[in-house]
Amino acid sequence: MILRAFSKALIFTWQFSGLMHPDLNITLFSNYVRRLFNDVIYEGETMSLIEMKEVLKDYPLGKTIVKALRGINFTVERGDFLSVVGASGSGKTTMLNIIGCIDAPTSGTVKIDGNDITMLNDKELTKLRLYKIGFIFQTFNLIPVLNVRENVEFPLLLMKDLSKSEIRARAEKFIEAVGIKEFIKHRPAELSGGQRQRVAIARSLATNPDIVLADEPTANLDSETGESILELMKNLNEKEKTTFIFSTHDQRVLKYAKHIVRLTDGKISD
Amino acid sequence: MKQLIKIAWRNILKHKGKSIVIGTILFLGSFLMTVGNGVISGMDKGLQKNIVDKYTGHIVLISSEQQEDNVIFSQMGKPVEIIEGFDGIKKILDANNLIDKYLPVGKEFVMLFNEDGEPGYTLIMGVDFVEYQKMFGDNIVAEEGNLLKKNERGVLITTKQREEFYDYYNYWCVPENSQAVEKNLSEDAKLNVKNLNIKRDIVFMGFSEKNSALDIRTKIKGIVKFSSLNSIWGHINFCDIESFRECFGWVTSNDINAELSKGQQTLLNIDESNLEALFGGNMETIEDNTPHKNLPEDPSKTDSVKPNSFKNQADTGVRDSGAYNIVFIKLKKPEDIDKTIKELSVKINELKLKCRVISWKKAVGQIADIAAIIRAALFGFVMLLFFVAIIIIMNTLSMTALERVSEIGMMRAVGASKGFISGMFVFETAILSFIFGGSGIIAGIITTEIIAFQNITTSNDFLQLLYGGDSFMPLLGAGDVAAGIIQLVIVTILSMIYPVLIARKITPLDAISRE
């Protein structure tokens, strides 16, 4: 707390001391200073994995502004299995996109593992997505020209800090875990929807992310496959302590959730 | 890197249609660029070979009084100024190690006299023909009659000029002691074969805006043809240097030393601005009974001539070893043109010689200009190909990028950087460029070799300029192939910039929005 107060005081002093040339971009500079202290401030402190404060998200739609999120405040702890529910257009996907660092809030703060994502540049956000977040999307899933193993290996290769054998071992471990080992050399076009979703899950887990974001993961699956995938995620959540956040309409998903966040018109209603 | 190449290669295979379209453009573009480079290079070398080796040498020395550089195809009536002090010039040319050989000549327009009709004009070059052959080899061949021998007087008419003389003045030139050869007659002459007005000698007179001198009748020794670019150089006829000097009144130093009568001296001393005095009542009648008494009996033995100003000659007392208005200079190494011009210019300035040196391109004037224009047009054509190829490839790649928003967005979502996405596109285009563009270059090289092997010849003026001679000899050196590769790389880079920018801008959100 003392350190945080000190850093805020420093930023304030820096901004208003008059030492900086007025033409300099003060916001950017102060952001830099804040980022500099970010790690120091949060190092060793107990904190939530995800923190959203007063998050607003507006989308311009022609001449009107659509308010997708209207002041979201909530936290997600490590190892949670959270389901975000709500009617279509309630802001579920927008919230997930912001948590996944693929969209930015109009205002408010979003911290992922202590990193204020509104302060990060594209390179840093990309790195954050690579190391801390796994995605399971509703429809767009896999790289069509790569086979199952190569798809799972893809983010591991991007990390550049793993050996070839380690990458291979990790990929095969998760492919086996999602039960598609026999399709390891198949390309996405040769797999069913459920199998593709399993590959996506394997890929999202292979990097050992802190958070897995799944946007309606069962929407395109038959009930049996959907159940088996949810079961798989539940097991991984329990074994690996991976945090799962779902957005869903599917009532079946809810029974797996530890917590449920209900969104109505861009606000948490429950 | 390996992953990038793998994804790029598989994307190429996956999008076969687009890959083939891009590949075909790259193939055709690089093929045409390579052949174009070969044509440009062949033309360059051809011009060098034909004009430099056979007509002008690398450097041309002219009088410092000469205003226009274009002394070969100068404007009619505009004389090419006479080079004074050739003795001194000869010394610096002999002393220069970069010079292989040189040939002084006289070149001017002459008036042709025709007993049966209007007078005409033609270009004539006075040379020591044996020396000319030493300098320029066998670029002139006798179609009828013979070439000029050592010290032989006479004129050589080109086939082109003979046809023009027939068209304009209605006579057909043949060498002395010979008849018209039917197979060599022009189409028009053939129609009138029985009534051809045959001429075996020709009367011409030096003619320019500055002077008109003696008319001389000279025997036609041969009808000649240039081995290449005859349609251009065929405007120039040849005669021995002494006949040339005589008809222009470039008199020998023997004339200079002549003792002039009082009357002649008075005439020479008349102020040029007061020529009316010549016709004044007080003018002394001039009796000149020995107009050419000082001309040597054998003009070839003359080693001293001087331009036609007796007055200046008398004043300066300079003795020249010959009067010429152009000196063609060949170098040991063609690349030394600029260096030699510089060296000679320094020497000329030091010794205060009344001459200057120019490159062959300046000396041939519009011929080099036309060649440069054709070359520029070819280069422009290649650039147009470049441009079209870039636009088509850019468009196709941009479409590919936009069609792959989901894939690219997903890659970005799972941690691929913008650099990775750029790399993917760069590798895709580079692989296509390497395979198809490389094949195009190889095909271009093979085609160029085949064309050169075919020895395609032409008598068309424009094509001769385009070919740099009378045969189409595209030529590809290592530099041209390297230029082709560089052009291909430039096309590849330029065509991928915009699609890469599009791809880099694709965000995971774009992918989701599209879904």
What is the percent of chain A where pLDDT is above 90? 2
Distance CA B340, CA B344 (A): 6
Search chain A and give the residue with CA nearest B420.
A158
Rounded to 5, what percent of chain B is helix, strand, coil?
55, 20, 25
What is the percent of chain B where pLDDT is above 90? 15
Tokens 């965000």 correspond to B507
| Residue among B6, B11, B512 whose CB faces A97 most closely | B512
First to last CA, chain B: 29
Confidence of residue B224 (pLDDT cuts 50, 70, 90): very high
B120 against B459, higher pLDDT: B120
Q: Of A114, A115, A117, which Cα lies nearest the Cα of A105?
A: A117
Cβ contact A90:A263 at 8 Å: yes
Structure confidence by residue, pLDDT tens digits, B446-473: 998 888 888 888 777 677 767 777 778 8
Cβ-based neighbours of B128, under 8 Å, separated by 6 or more? B240, B241
Q: How far is A264 from chain B (nearest CA, A)?
A: 21
| Residue among B11, B406, B416 whose CB faces A140 most closely | B406
Structure confidence by residue, pLDDT tens digits, B86-102: 888 888 899 889 999 99
Confidence at residue A21, expressed as pLDDT on a 0 to 100 scale: 36
Q: Which two tokens stand for residue A17?
A: 């001391």
Confidence at residue B212, expressed as pLDDT on a 0 to 100 scale: 56
Contact yes or no for A102 and B507 at CB 8 A: yes
First to last CA, chain A: 31
| Residue among A102, A122, A154 whose CB faces B509 most closely | A102
Structure confidence by residue, pLDDT tens digits, A68-103: 888 888 888 888 888 888 887 888 888 888 888 888
- Average pLDDT in chain A: 77
pTM of the predicted protein model: 0.64
Q: What is the DSSP string of B388-422?
A: HHHHHHHHHHHHHHHHTHHHHHHHHHTT--HHHHH
Confidence at residue B33, expressed as pLDDT on a 0 to 100 scale: 83
Rounded to 5, what percent of chain A is helix, strand, coil?
45, 25, 30
Q: Which amino acid is at A242?
A: T
Cβ contact B30:B444 at 8 Å: yes
| Residue among B406, B413, B509 whose CB faces A129 most closely | B413
Chain B contact for A266 (CB, 8 A cutoff)? no
Q: Of B338, B322, B327, which Cα lies nearest the Cα of B363?
A: B327
Structure confidence by residue, pLDDT tens digits, B156-193: 999 999 999 998 888 899 999 888 888 888 888 888 88
Q: A148-159 and B2-14 helices cross at what angle (nearest 10)?
A: 140
Confidence at residue B239, expressed as pLDDT on a 0 to 100 scale: 92
Neighbours of B195 (CB within 10 A): 6
Query: Residues of A with CB below 8 A from B7's CB?
Result: 143, 145-146
Structure confidence by residue, pLDDT tens digits, A130-151: 888 888 877 657 888 888 999 9
What is the mean pLDDT of the segment spanning A201-212? Answer: 86
Its ipTM equals 0.77
Interface residues of chain B, partner chain A, Cβ below 8 Å: 3, 6-7, 10-11, 13-14, 406-407, 409-418, 420, 507-509, 511-512, 515
Cβ contact B123:B109 at 8 Å: yes
Confidence at residue B269, expressed as pLDDT on a 0 to 100 scale: 58
Q: How far is B492 from chain A (nearest CA, A)?
A: 23
Query: Residues of B with CB below 8 A from A220's CB?
Result: none
Confidence at residue B402, expressed as pLDDT on a 0 to 100 scale: 85
Q: If residue B237 lies in a helix (H) or strand (E), which one and from where to where?
A: strand B236-240
Whole-number Cα distances in Å, B313 to B107, B213, B271, B306: 22, 17, 15, 7
Hey, which residues 82-141 in chain A have their CB within 8 Å of chain B?
93, 97, 100, 102-103, 122-123, 126-127, 129-131, 134-135, 137-141
Structure confidence by residue, pLDDT tens digits, B366-420: 776 766 777 788 778 878 877 888 888 888 888 888 888 888 888 888 888 888 8
